[in-house]
């Protein structure tokens, strides 16, 4: 079976006026996720848009071309070899020679080379991203070209730098490669170019390679270019396993670059300005695409997300993660809209207001209503009821806090049926996008406010995605979460008043206000609920049997196969044969399902407990301690208020007795 081809696109730095139409066409004609496509199309480097058969990708590429996007359809080459480690170098008039322990590489004057200068730890990538986001937050500047190229080179050299040099043939296919680490090769071979700095000697190798090769390209985008299997995972200096994986991904990145270059007529020569822009904008695209897509609109959100960059996914899952990113997700179920005017609470309020109105129509209501209210307060009844309510709320929160603290956090792969506590990254099961900020999310709650006759804001409707399941995953696996009836706490809240700055088209009435709470796709989420076996989605056998027989009746050609006596009619015995055949097919299907080993994510769902009083909590939080800390503050405030009301009640009782 042939391997899938890749559709690599050259990103654009800012969305064009035709971007919405392009996204709609990609979703409607090619079944792609419009939001994810937007993230891949924006930036200033290359990105994988999708993968699949060449003929399918060609149709998608035609659509992209119509909207002035450049795409490259490649069949990714297998890694034939990895670079050998450089031990010494020799400089001659006509060639540059690199030597390892057992191998050598010679670069003649007419050679074509690809030079990759990379940093392996990943810490500098995050530091530069943090600097960029801080600039956006405090200055509002959306220009990503403010980082000098010399500083970018310097930050690479201050980390764990590595230099790869690939010799290419006329078709752009690598024929040899060498890898140099600072201080790990004999610098005396550089002759007059040698310096006392190991890092500067690495740069001298770059200069010599550029001077000897007729065609060359210097690439410093490893770790910022979102290409499959070529990710940079943060690794400490003593994390040899992590550094080894990054070296493997660096090799994968180089081979992908040669595949991309082979589709171009002229090998790309990165100018200083292009390298600067790629080094900055690419950071956002690779580490947090939702920021790169709409940076000017998410300035306050950016700094918070920067602290939550995921650095825990193994490098071996890079291919799978990128595949999931580009696959089309199903359309979410219809959003739940709650009209508060028809809710049970509103109906009860209507009834109470009606009773008060009727009583107020009586002439003697003031005679007993005012003394009754005064007596309720002076006797301590009102404050006592309030104290009891506050204590009840406080003990309820205390109960939830103790459940969170006393329930051990389980790995998703090892969860048992019953009450369970898990913590991981939330991923979408459906193509869920928040209606106001148009962000990919696993949950949103949109509240609409209108001004009343007193010019006060009053809630008029609430739209939420509490009925849309999502995935929760950690390093051991993933499980489905059904958030229905859960207490959901999100860290992000956005507001739009009339024609606000948020991308919320179609609602420009200044008398309306919109508040959106959401949990972004990929956020760290804590879940306390009950793990249950998913209900069988397959219809009962009797229903499937009736449906199969109905299809037989509608298919005249198939129905005639049961007419064994060729009289043109299906008698009882012939129809019984059809029933027996359908029953046998259904039996084989059921037996096949029972023998098939199903994955945990297909069998288990975390949802609300069937027992009353057991909480179901979904909270966006980096740790359990931060979540319980919030409950501690709430409990303290409720108990203090209850103490004040109780003290007032006791004082009033002493005054009356």
pLDDT, tens digit (0-9, with 9 covering 90-100), for 238-247: 778 888 888 9
Taking each helix axis as running N to C, give the angle between helix 624-656 and helix 381-406, from 0 to 180 degrees, rounded to the nearest 10: 160
Q: Residue 101: name the closest of 162, 178, 194, 201 by CA.
A: 178
Say which residue, 213 or 497, is predicted with more confidence.
213
Separation CA 591–CA 578 (nearest Å): 20
Beta pairing, strands 617-620 & 487-489: parallel
Q: Name the domain boundary from 48, 73, 98.
A: 73
pLDDT given at position 255: 92
Separation CA 416–CA 507 (nearest Å): 46
Residue 638's pLDDT band, with cuts at 50, 70 and 90, is: confident
Separation CA 513–CA 498 (nearest Å): 6
Q: What is the dihedral of CA 559, 565, 567, 569, to 10 degrees?
A: -40
Identify whether residues 428 and 571 lie together within a single domain: yes
Identify whether residues 246 and 317 lie together within a single domain: yes
* Residue 515, SS3 per DSSP: strand
Q: How many CB atoms lie within 10 A of CB 430?
A: 15
Structure tokens, 356: 């008060």
Separation CA 57–CA 7 (nearest Å): 6
Q: Does 369 reside within a domain? A: no
Q: Residue 495: name the closest of 510, 515, 512 by CA.
A: 515
According to DSSP, residue 506 is labeled T
Query: Of the ranges 216-230, 303-317, 619-633, which is most confident?
Result: 216-230
CB-hemisphere CA count at 13 Å for 629? 6
pLDDT given at position 652: 81
Phi/psi at 450 (5° precision)? -130, 150
Q: Does 533 reside within a domain? A: yes
pLDDT given at position 350: 66
Q: Considering Cα of 570, then 575, then 581, then 582, what sign does the dihedral take?
A: positive
Identify whether residues 59 and 124 lie together within a single domain: no
Q: Does 91 reside within a domain? A: yes
Check whether 179 has a pLDDT greater than 90.
Answer: yes
Instruction: Tell me the pTM.
Output: 0.44
pLDDT given at position 97: 92
Q: How far are the Cα atoms of 184, 390, 496, 519, 620 from residue 634, in angstroms, in the given order? A: 58, 11, 28, 22, 17
Number of DSSP helices (H) and strands (E) in the chain, helices first: 19, 23
**DSSP-assigned states of every residue in 530-548:** EEEEPPP-SPPHHHHHHHH
Separation CA 316–CA 300 (nearest Å): 33
Residue 271's pLDDT band, with cuts at 50, 70 and 90, is: very low
| Residue environment code for 60-99, b if the CB has 16+ CB neighbours within 10 A, otherwise e | bbebbeebebebbbbebeeeeebbbebeebeeeeeebebb
Identify whether residues 306 and 183 lie together within a single domain: yes
Check whether 321 has a pLDDT greater than 80.
Answer: no
pLDDT given at position 586: 80
According to DSSP, residue 304 is labeled H
Q: What is the dihedral of CA 503, 504, 505, 506, to 10 degrees?
A: -170
Strand pairing partners for 42?
12
Q: Does 366 reside within a domain? A: no
Q: How many residues does the chain have?
A: 657
Q: Averaged over 446-459, what is the pLDDT? A: 83
Q: Does 363 reside within a domain? A: no
**DSSP-assigned states of every residue in 550-563:** HHHHH-HHHHHTT-
Separation CA 222–CA 226 (nearest Å): 9
Identify whether residues 298 and 389 lie together within a single domain: no
Identify whether residues 14 and 90 lie together within a single domain: no
Q: Name the domain boundary from 73, 89, 122.
A: 73
| pLDDT, tens only, 184-210 | 999 888 888 888 888 888 989 999 998
Identify whether residues 548 and 643 lie together within a single domain: no
Q: Does 503 reside within a domain? A: yes
Contact, 320 vs 524, CB < 8 A? no
Contacts of residue 637, Cβ cutoff 8 Å, sequence gap at least 6: none
| pLDDT, tens only, 339-385 | 555 556 667 766 777 776 666 665 555 566 667 667 777 777 888 88
| pLDDT, tens only, 408-430 | 888 888 888 888 889 899 999 88
pLDDT given at position 560: 80
| pLDDT, tens only, 575-630 | 888 888 888 888 777 666 555 555 666 788 898 887 776 788 898 887 777 777 77
Q: Averaged over 442-457, what is the pLDDT? A: 85
Alpha-carbon 476 to chain mean position: 18
pLDDT given at position 180: 93
Residue 67 maps to which CATH number? Answer: 3.30.1390
Check whether 148 has a pLDDT greater than 80.
Answer: no
Q: Averaged over 629-646, what is the pLDDT? A: 84
pLDDT given at position 129: 61
Q: How many CB atoms lie within 10 A of CB 380?
A: 21
| pLDDT, tens only, 55-95 | 899 999 999 999 888 888 988 888 999 999 999 999 988 88
pLDDT given at position 309: 37
Contacts of residue 217, Cβ cutoff 8 Å, sequence gap at least 6: 113, 114, 115, 261, 267, 268, 269, 270
Q: Does 455 reside within a domain? A: yes
Identify whether residues 429 and 545 lie together within a single domain: yes
Q: Does 438 reside within a domain? A: yes
> What percent of the chain has a predicted confidence (pLDDT) above 70?
74
Separation CA 79–CA 59 (nearest Å): 28
Using left for φ > 0, alpha for ψ between -120 and 50, and beta otherwise, residue 166 falls in beta
Contacts of residue 562, Cβ cutoff 8 Å, sequence gap at least 6: 552, 570, 574, 575, 577, 578
Identify whether residues 645 and 555 lie together within a single domain: no
Separation CA 416–CA 410 (nearest Å): 9
Check whether 528 has a pLDDT greater than 90.
Answer: no
Place of tokens 């810490």: 123
Say which residue, 294 or 524, is predicted with more confidence.
524
Range of the domain at 137: 80-326
Identify whether residues 383 and 319 lie together within a single domain: no
Let me know if 584 is exposed, middle or buried by CB neighbors in 10 A (0-12, 13-18, 19+). exposed
Residue 654's pLDDT band, with cuts at 50, 70 and 90, is: confident
Identify whether residues 396 and 417 lie together within a single domain: no
Identify whether residues 462 and 402 lie together within a single domain: no
Separation CA 399–CA 409 (nearest Å): 17
- Give the count of domains, the chain: 4
Q: Residue 72: name the closest of 95, 94, 86, 51 by CA.
A: 51
Separation CA 123–CA 60 (nearest Å): 36
């Amino acid at each position: 079976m042939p391997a899938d081809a890749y559709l690599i696109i050259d990103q654009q730095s800012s969305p064009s006026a035709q971007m919405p139409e392009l996204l709609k066409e990609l979703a409607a004609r090619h079944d792609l996720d419009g939001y994810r496509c937007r993230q891949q199309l924006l930036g200033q480097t290359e990105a994988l848009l999708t993968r699949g058969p060449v003929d399918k990708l060609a149709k998608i590429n035609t659509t992209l071309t119509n909207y002035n996007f450049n795409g490259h359809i490649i069949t990714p080459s297998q890694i034939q070899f990895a670079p050998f480690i450089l031990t010494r170098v020799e400089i001659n008039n006509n060639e540059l020679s690199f030597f390892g322990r057992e191998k050598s590489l010679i670069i003649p004057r007419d050679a074509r080379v690809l030079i990759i200068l990379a940093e392996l730890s990943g810490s500098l990538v995050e530091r530069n991203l943090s600097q960029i986001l801080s600039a956006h937050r405090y200055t509002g500047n959306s220009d990503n070209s403010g980082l000098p190229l010399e500083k970018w080179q310097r930050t690479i050299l201050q980390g764990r730098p590595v230099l790869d040099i690939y010799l290419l043939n006329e078709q752009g296919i690598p024929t040899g490669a060498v890898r140099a680490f600072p201080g790990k090769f004999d610098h005396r071979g550089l002759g007059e170019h040698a310096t006392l700095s190991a890092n500067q000697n690495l740069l001298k190798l770059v200069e010599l390679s550029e001077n000897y090769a007729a065609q060359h390209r210097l690439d410093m985008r490893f770790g910022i270019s979102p290409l499959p299997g070529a990710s940079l995972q943060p690794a400490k200096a003593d994390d040899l396993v992590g550094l080894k994986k990054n070296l493997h991904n660096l090799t994968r990145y180089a081979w992908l670059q040669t595949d991309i270059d082979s589709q171009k007529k002229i090998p790309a020569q990165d100018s200083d300005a292009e390298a600067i822009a790629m080094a900055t904008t690419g950071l956002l695209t690779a580490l947090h695409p939702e920021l790169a897509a709409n940076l000017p609109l998410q300035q306050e959100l950016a700094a918070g997300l920067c602290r939550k960059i995921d650095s825990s996914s193994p490098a071996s899952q890079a291919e799978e993660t990128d595949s999931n990113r580009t696959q089309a997700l199903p359309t979410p179920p219809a959003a739940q809209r709650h009209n508060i005017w028809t809710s049970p609470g509103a109906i009860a309020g209507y009834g109470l207001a009606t009773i008060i109105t009727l009583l107020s129509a009586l002439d003697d209501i003031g005679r007993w209503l005012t003394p009754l209210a005064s007596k309720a307060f002076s006797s301590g009844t009102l404050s006592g009821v309030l104290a009891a309510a506050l204590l009840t709320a406080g003990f309820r929160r205390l109960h939830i806090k103790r459940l969170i603290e006393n329930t051990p956090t389980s790995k998703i792969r090892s969860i048992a049926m019953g009450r369970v506590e898990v913590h991981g990254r939330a991923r979408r099961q459906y193509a869920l996008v928040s209606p106001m900020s148009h962000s990919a999310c696993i949950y949103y709650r949109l509240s609409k406010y209108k001004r009343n006759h007193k010019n006060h804001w009053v809630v008029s409707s609430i739209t939420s995605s509490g009925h849309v399941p999502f995935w929760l995953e950690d390093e051991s696996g993933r499980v489905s979460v059904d958030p229905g009836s859960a207490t959901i706490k999100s860290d992000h809240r956005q507001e739009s008043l009339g024609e606000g700055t948020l991308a919320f088209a179609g609602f420009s009435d200044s008398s309306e206000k919109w508040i959106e709470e959401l949990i972004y796709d990929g956020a760290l989420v804590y879940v306390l609920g009950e793990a249950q076996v998913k209900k069988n989605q397959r219809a009962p056998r009797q229903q499937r049997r009736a449906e199969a027989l109905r299809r037989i009746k509608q298919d005249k050609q198939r129905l005639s196969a049961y007419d064994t006596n060729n009289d043109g009619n299906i008698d009882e015995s012939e129809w019984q044969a059809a029933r027996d055949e359908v029953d046998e097919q259904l039996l084989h299907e059921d037996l096949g399902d029972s023998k098939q080993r199903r994955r945990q994510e297909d069998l288990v769902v975390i949802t609300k407990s069937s027992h009353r009083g057991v909480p179901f909590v979904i909270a966006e939080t980096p740790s359990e301690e931060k979540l319980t800390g919030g409950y501690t503050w709430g409990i303290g405030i409720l108990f203090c208020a209850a103490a004040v009301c109780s003290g007032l009640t006791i004082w009033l009782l002493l005054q009356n007795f």
